[in-house]
Structure 1
Amino acid sequence: MSDWRPRLIASDMDGTLLRWDDTVSDATVAELERWRADGVPVVLATGRPPRWMRRIREVLGHGTAVCCNGAVLLDLERFEIIAEEPLQPDVLESVTTELRRRRPDTWFAVEYGLEFRHEPIYRPRWDVDAPGVAEASLDELVAQPVAKLLARHETLPRDEFVALVEDVVGDRATVTHSSTDALAEISAPGVTKASGLATVAARYGVGPEDVVVFGDMPNDIAAFEWVRAAGGRAVAMAHAHPDLMAVATDVTGTNDDDGVAAFLAAL
């Protein structure tokens, strides 16, 4: 595959495109702009909600971003949500009820549009006082469709808690995780970064065989499997989660070593 070149570049953000200080290096920006100038679209595929995409617009303010692990497509230039695949209230209610029954000390939050709502006892790790962030009761959280349901546990090990959530959810929704904490991310059935990227790629007339995807965590697995099965490139960062490494076609340097830019420059 030495002469292979992508027709679309897709990258996760945290731990992949972004360095640990939450910035994108000048070298990475320059490399992405070089490909974009050559007609290759760059698509961000992230677990982040749209409200966390404002800063990246200042650096890469073009194209479509796949947010909330595939549930939301965001036009970065206009900063408009152009598509959503929501999790419905009946599923929200049944999943939260069963999780709360199995582990009463499980706390919940939801993402929708540019809003974040969490139970009073839920402890957000970021932007606690930011616009769009507010407390709400569990009944209020599950009363409307949402892009993503977050379930958090403060004491269980991450993998044990995620396995519990997967057991409770079954085929009613999609469960993944991208944090070092015991935080499970729950989306509508079939909604993953792969489904979001497939929609965006189709709009460009590009198939998975011509896509390169970069990532570092289990919420990137579906996207890796999507491109790998078709002959595309699934590139794990050097520090990536072992489960993601297992489905990668390639490995590049760490995010602090500009691994994304280094891999693209070598093509």
Structure 2
Amino acid sequence: MRLIASDIDGTILGHDGTISPRTVAAFAAAARAGVEIVFVTGRPPRWLEPLRRQMGHTGTVICSNGAVVYDLATDTVVSSHLLPWETVASARKIILSRVPEARFAAESLDGFHLEPGFLEPGTAPALQGIEPAPLEDTVKDGTGMVKFLAVVRAGTADEFLAAVRDDLDGLLSVTHSAPNMALLEMGPRGVNKAVTLAEYAASRGIDAADVVAFGDMPNDIEMLRWAGSGYAMASGHASAISATDLQAPHFDDDGVAQVIETLLAGLNHA
């Protein structure tokens, strides 16, 4: 075990916005043992404060489902994969032809772009200051996006994905990670958490066999399959659990911490 790659939400971070002391201690112990730590998340760089504040992490974070590599120490984008406006516009048209009630938003390196109807009243306080407007009015010419979002108010994310996946295939990458919303997350074609994590590991001279990964949702599937040891959370989405033979205990039982503690104990006795 040379590198631990962990998802954030639902894997180490709870709905209350906290990371348990046991989890913080387990990652700290791994770092002291010489294991490199990288977090791999669907979150954009501007939503990484829990890692800095609670974990004390100032290293690399792979954000936006692999579209952005971010350095927390310097608060800078190291690299990015971008979605051109033409691709976003085509995907939006396809989705509306299948699911007319869908509403949209986009994440760029410059900020968040919000269309009318995307947010329900009273939700996402961090986004309430953004004035909703059509994406074509707020995305600057030449500004690439790192994530395109679509939401509907009825049904599940799995159902929404099934309705549009075939039509979007080959245009961009499509996944989801919100447990209680029919929200789709779309990024550059061929880019996912595993692709960018593999690039990062290779840059550090680390093989997949020496990577331990943790995740809980469909956007973690490729990463869990790529890593030499990919652990799905017992509390996670069924598709993530079925993607790997390894399972971490439930989030409520500090599942990631339990696995790290066991692996470190094995290293100490090797």
TM-score normalised to structure 1 length: 0.90
The alignment's C-alpha RMSD in Å is 1.7
Alignment CA distance shift 1:112-1:253 (3 Å) = same
Secondary structure in structure 2 of the residue aligned to 1:149: strand
Q: Deviations 1:104-128 (Å, cap 9, x if unpaired)?
A: 2111100112511110221164234
Which amino acid is 1:27 matched to?
R
Q: 2:58 aligns with which of 50, 55, 62?
A: 62
Q: Deviations 1:51-89 (Å, cap 9, x if unpaired)?
A: 111232112322110110000111112221111101111
Q: Which residue of 2 aligns with 1:255?
A: 251
1:50/1:114 contact within 8 Å kept: no
Q: Answer with 91-100 or 185-194: which moved more.
A: 91-100
Give the Å deviation of 1:129.
4.3
Which amino acid is 2:136 matched to?
D
| Residue-pair matches, total | 257
Q: Which residue of 1 aligns with 2:148?
A: 149
Secondary structure in structure 2 of the residue aligned to 1:214: strand
Which amino acid is 2:177 matched to?
S
Q: Which residue of 2 aligns with 1:266?
A: 262
Secondary structure in structure 2 of the residue aligned to 1:98: helix
Q: Deviations 1:21-65 (Å, cap 9, x if unpaired)?
A: 221112211111111122211111111111111232112322110
Q: Deviations 1:120-176 (Å, cap 9, x if unpaired)?
A: 221164234466x44221323565310000011112332221112312211111000
Which amino acid is 1:208 matched to?
A
Alignment CA distance shift 1:51-1:134 (3 Å) = farther
2:194 pairs with 1:194:
yes
Alignment CA distance shift 1:234-1:102 (3 Å) = same
Unpaired runs of at least 5, structure 2: 264-270
Q: Which residue of 1 aligns with 2:69?
A: 73
CA distance in 2, matches of 1:75, 1:252: 28
1:107/1:153 contact within 8 Å kept: yes
2:98/2:164 contact within 8 Å kept: no
Q: Which residue of 2 aligns with 1:169?
A: 168
Q: Which residue of 1 aligns with 2:132?
A: 135
Secondary structure in structure 2 of the residue aligned to 1:22: coil
Q: Which residue of 2 aligns with 1:3?
A: none
Which amino acid is 2:204 matched to?
Y
Give the Å deviation of 1:190.
0.8
1:73/1:82 contact within 8 Å kept: yes
CA distance in 1, matches of 2:33, 2:128: 38
Q: Which residue of 2 aligns with 1:16?
A: 11
Secondary structure in structure 2 of the residue aligned to 1:16: coil
Kindly, what percent of the aligned residue pairs are identical? 38
Q: 1:88 aligns with which of 84, 87, 107?
A: 84
Which amino acid is 1:153 matched to?
V
Q: Which residue of 2 aligns with 1:35?
A: 30
Secondary structure in structure 1 of the residue aligned to 2:54: coil
CA distance in 2, matches of 1:190, 1:88: 14
Which stretches of structure 1, 4 residues or more, deviate above 4 A after TM superposition?
128-131
CA distance in 2, matches of 1:40, 1:161: 39
Alignment CA distance shift 1:50-1:104 (3 Å) = same
